[in-house]
Structure 1
Amino acid sequence: MVGVLIGIVILAIVVYVGVLIYQQRIRKQVTALTTKKESMVAIPLTDELNLVGKLSLTGQSLAQFQQLQADYQDITENRFKRIDQELDQLMSDSRGVNLLQLRQRLTKITLLVNQTDALVQEVQAQLASLQEVDKQHREAVHELEKKYQDLRKTLLAKNFAFGPSIDGLEERLGQLEGNFDTFTRLTQEGDHERAADVLSQLQTDTTNLEDLIAAIPPLYKDLTVVFPDQIKELKGGYQQLAADHYQFGDQDVPGLIQDAEEHIKDNANTLTELRPSDAEVVNDRIAKQIDHIYDVMQTEMDAKEPVNKNLDRVAKFIAHAQNQSHSLLNELDRLSQNYTLDHQELETARELNEQLRHIDGTYQQDVQALSGKQAVFSQVLAHQNQQEKDLKQIEEQQADILKSVAGLADEERQARDTLQQFDFNLHSLRRQVENLNLPGIPQEYLDYFFVVRDEVAQLATDMDQPQIDMERITKQLLIIQTDLDTLQEKTDDLVDSSQLAEQLLQYANRYQTSHEDVAEASHTAADLFEHKYQYAQALETIATALEQVEPGAYKRLEDAYYDRKGTAKPKRRQTEKD
């Protein structure tokens, strides 16, 4: 029971302490809100209202000021009083224990203080804005007034620099000054909202007029001074060049000059309409036209001297190429009597000769035009440059053709020597085989021999033709040389196989009675040798049998054979046996 009482006492103490702490917190917040309200009261809204009230505002600006006065009256006469009452009541209630009511009243008064502070700040900001706008507008009045005075002085003092644009510029300036008067009146009356609209357009129009005044003089100077001086110079230059018999081909220089003059006149109207951007585009086009005319005349003047210097050199170049062409055609005609020209050398040489004829024709026309003072120097110079380029290429082609056919006679002589050597080698191989006195020759060998013999015969026939195709002859020489090398190998095989087979058959006689397998192999090998002419097979048959009864016998006999013969054992035979 005592414990319960103690617990109740402790709980009461805790609650009491908590209430005291909360009351203290409420009183601190009341103090903070009171301080914030006093800071709002300290703002000199009354002084600022008095200052703005002296601006003689009208229209929308006056309506805005009146609303600010109403807001100020609401703040001072209603809101501040309510705040004081609510804060006093809250401070009084903070001694009680109705915590929920205290919290609700604190929330309400906090909201009222914050809203009032925001309203005070808004009123102050708008008052400052009205003062700033008034200041800016009055400064704008002074600035624009000075600017228009300067613009008018510029137009009066330098009206010659604007040409036909002066009337339009003065009219624009007059319109601006009229609008400026309206802006000044609205500013003085204090109707700053309407004045702001007028000022925005006025500033834009003033900037545009300043841009026009800055852009037009240089354009007008080009149209009245720079371009006319250049046109005059071009006319005088053309007259002088025409008197010196310069020609300009399809370039109508007088027409180009007249066209530029018309553009100059037309563009002056563009300035009258105050369209400098369009006038600038046309001026650029006129400048390019004039530059083109200068280039046309300068090109002809620059071309005259090199044309005269090139005449003799080009003439000699053409003559040299023609002599080369004549010699080449004669040489090709001579060679074509004895040789077949397989790469259109003669046709190409004739085409080159035709090109030379055209080059010379153009050159002669240019010479006549120069003599008759009707030549366009730039065209003649272009012809000369192209002619030198073409002539150089033609002479290189002529040299290539001559080089390609220059060795035909030497090639023919070498081919005949080689043919003679082929014929000698073929007869030598035939005698070598005949000297063996064999019972017969293998058909495979004979077939290959006759093929090579026919190839040599065909080569001889082709060499005896009135026109020799050396390219075909060269290919035949290569083929025959390869086939002869193969025939030599086949002949060596035939000789070696037959000779060794005979020696081994004789050596095997010592084993005829003692070894039946050797006797049988000898009989088979003899049949292959005497009746079938298969000498390599006969050698293989008897050699195999001998190796069975006397290992190493074949190699010993074979080595002795090649030693007597004085040649190395062929690798193919070494491979077969090894």
Structure 2
Amino acid sequence: MIYFIIPLIIVIVLTVVAFLSRKKHLEEISKMEQEKLQIQNKPIFEEMMKVKQLNMTGETEDMFERWRNTWTEVIDERLPKVDLLLLDAESQVDRFRFKKATETEKQIVETLEQCEREMRDLLQELNELIGSEEKNRVEMEKIKETHRAARKRILAHQYSFGPAVEPLEKVWEAFNPRFEQYDALIESGNYLQAREIVIALAEKEEHFTYLLEEIPTLLTELQTKIPAALRELRKGIIEMEGQAYYLGHLKLPARFDKIEQQLVNLRQLLARLDVEEVAHDVEEIHDEIESFYDVLEEEVSSRHYVEEHWEPTLDLFEELQYSISDTIEELKFVQQSYRLDEEESQIPHYGMQKLNTLAKRVEEYIERQERHESAYSERQIELQGIAEELDAIADEQTKFSNRIKNLRIDENMVRSRLIALSQQLHIADRNLHRANIPGVPDEMEIQLEEADEQIFIVKQSLEEVPLNMALVESYVQKASAVVEDVCDKADDMVENALLVERIIQYGNRYRASHPHVHEKLLQAEESFMQYRYLRALEEAATAVEEVEPGAMKKIQSTLHQKV
């Protein structure tokens, strides 16, 4: 049974595959037949008949003949060949010769694609020819209308085109031969060649219109606006020089002459219709003229600055001469009472040297002012430099003057501070020796003596003549630090001693019931009698905290409230 079933299954599978392949090929053949019918039914000859409306001569006639021959070959030769190939393919499929059928189908596809491609090219050329005729007619009429309007404009406004009238007329007349060439090509049916002439004429007409628009504007600039601006500038320069402005450094008249010569050259370029170059140069001339106005406005602005700031600057110069001289004299008296370092004491002398050097620049500036041989912009720069140096000198001298005036104030402040430190140290010493404690440790006595010595050093430095305040102030700072430190330690010692007494008193209640507390309190009392108050505090606090945690805070709170 197995040997019988397996071959049967294979036969069935092969049969199913064969019928499926046959169905697929028949569907493909049907599809190709539909494509052939679509090509065959295209109304190509009807489309070609539209060309009959044109002049059937020359290029048009040649193209029409070529299209007709091409499509006739498609209809009469290639599509019948496709019919035969379709029949062969069906026959091969019916006989299950699928490989042969595939090769035939490939030939059919290639033939149909070639027919489709030739049909598409034919219709494209046809539409291009017909479209060219319509575009040529519409665009050429527009070009001729613009051309006629340009002629009228040139005749009606010759004055606005100046020397460019004759060149413009020649350019205008150059269109006529091209118009005649276009008409001849249309007459002979050469529409595509005529299309090239239309495109070229459209570009030329656009450029010609550009010339008609730009030339009058540029001619107005060259003949009217720029010369008027130059005349205005020349007039303004004369008026400013009459008002004592010095403008020789700008060399403006020579630059005006150069521009006027450039205008002559630009008018010649305009007569040759070099509009782009002329427009570029005109823009540069306008930028240059704007720069002329800018430098003249700068001179006016600089004059206002000089007139506004010269007197205040001169007043400051003279004021500094007097004030620095006064400071030098004052310094002599101050140095009898106070010692200044060498560099600081030379500040007013250096200021006077700078002022004497600056005096030469001021004199030269005044001479230039009187001769009117320098521009106000230059004077402004020089005046600003002088003013900046004077401000720097004034600032330095003001700081120095305030410094020496404050020396007496600083001395009084140091003396007041010294008295306060002495009182503070005396109070701390008194509190220590009057407190109810066994005694004062040797190290505390040493620190008190050191603080007292620092105060003595300050007192001694205040007795020196002349007084060196910088040194005195450094001594005061050191004395302040030492006194503050020893006073804080003295207060802490007294407080710790009082706290030890309170803790021992509080712990007495536990002596009988807790022998180890009694032992530690005895150690604390021994440390207390040896002036070791901080250690006594630690030993007493540890003893009480062991039997009553938190007792320390309660004792401290009670003590602070009493204090």
Give TM class, smaller chain.
Answer: 0.5 to 0.7
Question: Judging changes above 3 Å, is the alpha-carbon distance between structure 1 residues 443 and 198 closer, same or farther for their aligned structure 2 residues?
Answer: same
Matched to 1:459, the amino acid is V
What is the Cα deviation at residue 109 of structure 1? 9.3
- After superposition, the CA RMSD in angstroms is 5.6
Give the equivalent residue in structure 2 for 1:513. none
What is the Cα deviation at residue 229 of structure 1? 1.2
2:249 is the alignment partner of 1:250? yes
Tell which deviates more after alignment, 216-225 or 179-188. Answer: 179-188
Question: Judging changes above 3 Å, is the alpha-carbon distance between structure 1 residues 423 and 375 closer, same or farther for their aligned structure 2 residues?
Answer: same
Give the equivalent residue in structure 1 for 2:550. none
Residues in 2 aligned to 1:367 and 1:483: alpha-carbon distance in whole angstroms? 62
Verify the 8 A CA contact 1:459 1:473 in the aligned structure 2.
yes
Give the equivalent residue in structure 2 for 1:71. 70
Verify the 8 A CA contact 1:329 1:346 in the aligned structure 2.
no
What is the Cα deviation at residue 288 of structure 1? 1.9
> Unaligned 5+ residue runs, structure 2?
1-18, 498-518, 545-555
Question: Judging changes above 3 Å, is the alpha-carbon distance between structure 1 residues 175 and 30 closer, same or farther for their aligned structure 2 residues?
Answer: closer
Residues in 1 aligned to 2:185 and 2:415: alpha-carbon distance in whole angstroms? 121
Match of 2:46 among 21, 44, 47: 44
Question: Judging changes above 3 Å, is the alpha-carbon distance between structure 1 residues 357 and 261 closer, same or farther for their aligned structure 2 residues?
Answer: farther
2:292 is the alignment partner of 1:293? yes
Residues in 1 aligned to 2:280 and 2:316: alpha-carbon distance in whole angstroms? 50
Verify the 8 A CA contact 1:338 1:466 in the aligned structure 2.
yes
What is the Cα deviation at residue 484 of structure 1? 3.9
Residues in 2 aligned to 1:490 and 1:110: alpha-carbon distance in whole angstroms? 115
2:342 is the alignment partner of 1:339? no
What is the Cα deviation at residue 251 of structure 1? 1.9
Counterparts of 1:295-444 in structure 2 under 5 Å? 295-304=294-303, 307-308=306-307, 310-341=309-340, 345-354=344-353, 356-357=355-356, 362-374=361-373, 376-381=375-380, 395-416=394-415
Matched to 2:241, the amino acid is A
Tell which deviates more after alignment, 317-326 or 212-221. Answer: 317-326
Q: What do the CA deviations read for 1:14-55 (whole angstroms, capped 9, x no partner)?
A: xxxx9xxx9xx99x9999899868854696257435334x43
Give the equivalent residue in structure 1 for 2:235. 236
Residues in 1 aligned to 2:75 and 2:373: alpha-carbon distance in whole angstroms? 104
Q: What is the percent sequence identity of the aligned residues?
A: 15
Residues in 1 aligned to 2:176 and 2:165: alpha-carbon distance in whole angstroms? 16
Verify the 8 A CA contact 1:248 1:296 in the aligned structure 2.
no
Question: Judging changes above 3 Å, is the alpha-carbon distance between structure 1 residues 409 and 172 closer, same or farther for their aligned structure 2 residues?
Answer: same
Residues in 2 aligned to 1:165 and 1:122: alpha-carbon distance in whole angstroms? 49
Q: What do the CA deviations read for 1:75-126 (whole angstroms, capped 9, x no partner)?
A: 666678x599979x98xxx9x9x9569x98x979999889767766654553
Residues in 2 aligned to 1:71 and 1:421: alpha-carbon distance in whole angstroms? 126
Aligned residues: 489
* 3-state SS in 2 of match to 1:480: helix
Give the equivalent residue in structure 1 for 2:57. 56
2:223 is the alignment partner of 1:224? yes
What is the Cα deviation at residue 409 of structure 1? 1.3
Q: What do the CA deviations read for 1:383-428 (whole angstroms, capped 9, x no partner)?
A: 5566666656655554433333322113224434655777899899
Question: Judging changes above 3 Å, is the alpha-carbon distance between structure 1 residues 273 and 481 closer, same or farther for their aligned structure 2 residues?
Answer: same
Give the equivalent residue in structure 1 for 2:7. none
* 3-state SS in 2 of match to 1:407: helix
* 3-state SS in 2 of match to 1:200: helix
TM-score norm. by structure 1 comes to: 0.64
Verify the 8 A CA contact 2:411 2:469 in the aligned structure 1.
yes
Matched to 2:238, the amino acid is Q
Question: Judging changes above 3 Å, is the alpha-carbon distance between structure 1 residues 405 and 55 closer, same or farther for their aligned structure 2 residues?
Answer: farther
Verify the 8 A CA contact 1:303 1:378 in the aligned structure 2.
yes
What is the Cα deviation at residue 252 of structure 1? 1.9
Residues in 2 aligned to 1:223 and 1:471: alpha-carbon distance in whole angstroms? 78
Residues in 2 aligned to 1:189 and 1:200: alpha-carbon distance in whole angstroms? 19
Matched to 2:292, the amino acid is I
Question: Judging changes above 3 Å, is the alpha-carbon distance between structure 1 residues 275 and 353 closer, same or farther for their aligned structure 2 residues?
Answer: farther
Matched to 2:132, the amino acid is V
What is the Cα deviation at residue 470 of structure 1? 1.1
Question: Judging changes above 3 Å, is the alpha-carbon distance between structure 1 residues 400 and 29 closer, same or farther for their aligned structure 2 residues?
Answer: closer
Give the equivalent residue in structure 1 for 2:500. none
* 3-state SS in 2 of match to 1:340: coil
Give the equivalent residue in structure 2 for 1:538. 530
Verify the 8 A CA contact 2:259 2:285 in the aligned structure 1.
yes
Verify the 8 A CA contact 1:340 1:469 in the aligned structure 2.
yes
Residues in 2 aligned to 1:211 and 1:343: alpha-carbon distance in whole angstroms? 82
Residues in 1 aligned to 2:364 and 2:450: alpha-carbon distance in whole angstroms? 65
What is the Cα deviation at residue 325 of structure 1? 3.3
Residues in 2 aligned to 1:495 and 1:309: alpha-carbon distance in whole angstroms? 73
Give the equivalent residue in structure 1 for 2:276. 277
Question: Judging changes above 3 Å, is the alpha-carbon distance between structure 1 residues 357 and 173 closer, same or farther for their aligned structure 2 residues?
Answer: farther
Residues in 2 aligned to 1:322 and 1:161: alpha-carbon distance in whole angstroms? 70
Residues in 2 aligned to 1:264 and 1:403: alpha-carbon distance in whole angstroms? 67
What is the Cα deviation at residue 476 of structure 1? 0.6
Verify the 8 A CA contact 2:211 2:273 in the aligned structure 1.
yes
* 3-state SS in 1 of match to 2:250: coil
Residues in 1 aligned to 2:493 and 2:118: alpha-carbon distance in whole angstroms? 131
Matched to 1:57, the amino acid is G
Give the equivalent residue in structure 2 for 1:149. 148
Matched to 1:538, the amino acid is Q
Counterparts of 1:534-573 in structure 2 under 5 Å? 538-539=530-531
* 3-state SS in 2 of match to 1:250: helix
Residues in 2 aligned to 1:430 and 1:68: alpha-carbon distance in whole angstroms? 132
What is the Cα deviation at residue 473 of structure 1? 0.9
What is the Cα deviation at residue 171 of structure 1? 4.5
What is the Cα deviation at residue 190 of structure 1? 1.9
Give the equivalent residue in structure 1 for 2:480. 481
What is the Cα deviation at residue 481 of structure 1? 3.2
Residues in 2 aligned to 1:297 and 1:165: alpha-carbon distance in whole angstroms? 36
Residues in 2 aligned to 1:131 and 1:241: alpha-carbon distance in whole angstroms? 74
Give the equivalent residue in structure 1 for 2:14. none
Counterparts of 1:168-207 in structure 2 under 5 Å? 168-207=167-206
Counterparts of 1:467-546 in structure 2 under 5 Å? 467-486=466-485, 538-539=530-531
Residues in 2 aligned to 1:312 and 1:45: alpha-carbon distance in whole angstroms? 98
Give the equivalent residue in structure 1 for 2:134. 135
Residues in 2 aligned to 1:374 and 1:46: alpha-carbon distance in whole angstroms? 91
* 3-state SS in 2 of match to 1:483: helix
TM-score norm. by structure 2 comes to: 0.65
* 3-state SS in 1 of match to 2:249: coil
Verify the 8 A CA contact 1:257 1:293 in the aligned structure 2.
no
Q: Who wins on radius of gyration, i.e. which is larger?
A: 1
Residues in 2 aligned to 1:36 and 1:177: alpha-carbon distance in whole angstroms? 49
Give the equivalent residue in structure 1 for 2:212. 213
What is the Cα deviation at residue 296 of structure 1? 2.7
Give the equivalent residue in structure 2 for 1:464. 463
What is the Cα deviation at residue 443 of structure 1? 7.3
Residues in 2 aligned to 1:42 and 1:486: alpha-carbon distance in whole angstroms? 119
Matched to 1:473, the amino acid is V
